[in-house]
Structure 1
């Protein structure tokens, strides 16, 4: 009876561990990219997958559950470290962005030309040289 139960529960546990590992991978990538909603959704899906992987423990097989937990912990740590590295480079990006915004703000406003008016191309502030 126990071997029949193990033959059913262990594959279910392994499938749960695989799903949990995929959810942990998605959560880690989402944390790296700073997508909190996606990370929360992935961890939210990881929970039932980890519970599914715990079914193998009824047949004294703890490996699927340990793999599910270890992958989540590893990906959360890796994602957090990678995000902190990305955030370290943010001040330089922010200053470049602020400079671009200031350049747009300082740009002269375009002149409205009435419809039907003839516009001649400008050569700038220097007159054209006669040749």
Structure 2
């Protein structure tokens, strides 16, 4: 009887572990792209996959449950590290975007026959953090 039960529960647990690992991969990609809703949804779908992988434990097979747990932790860490790497290059890309936009505006202005605009700076304006007074 136990052998027959194991022949059903172990493949079911393996299928759950595969589903949980796929959801963990989707969560990592979502974290890399900064899509918090998709990451939350993927982790939310990972939970039933992990529960399904636990069915193999009734046949003393703990590998599917361990694989699903390790996959989620590994993918969340990989996604977070990749997101930090992507964000590290963001200021340089933003400055390049602003320079291209300024060049386009200057080219259009010169084509219209007007004088070129004053040189632009790419540094953000510093503020004191104070709220402006309300005009009454």
The TM-score with structure 2 as length reference comes to 0.73
**Equivalence for 1:108:** 109
Q: How many matched pairs?
A: 111
Deviation, 1:34, is: 1.8
C-alpha distance in 2 between matches for 1:91 and 1:38: 25
Deviation, 1:99, is: 2.3
Superposition RMSD in Å = 1.8
Q: How does 1:13-92 map to 2 (within 5 A)?
A: 13-92=13-92
In terms of Rg, which structure is larger?
1
The TM-score with structure 1 as length reference comes to 0.76
1:45-77 alpha-carbon deviations (Å, 9 max, x no partner): 111111100111111111000000001111111
Unaligned runs of 5+ in 1: 112-131
Unaligned runs of 5+ in 2: 113-136
**Equivalence for 2:8:** 8
Query: Per the alignment, in what secondary structure is the counterpart of residue 108 of structure 1?
Result: helix
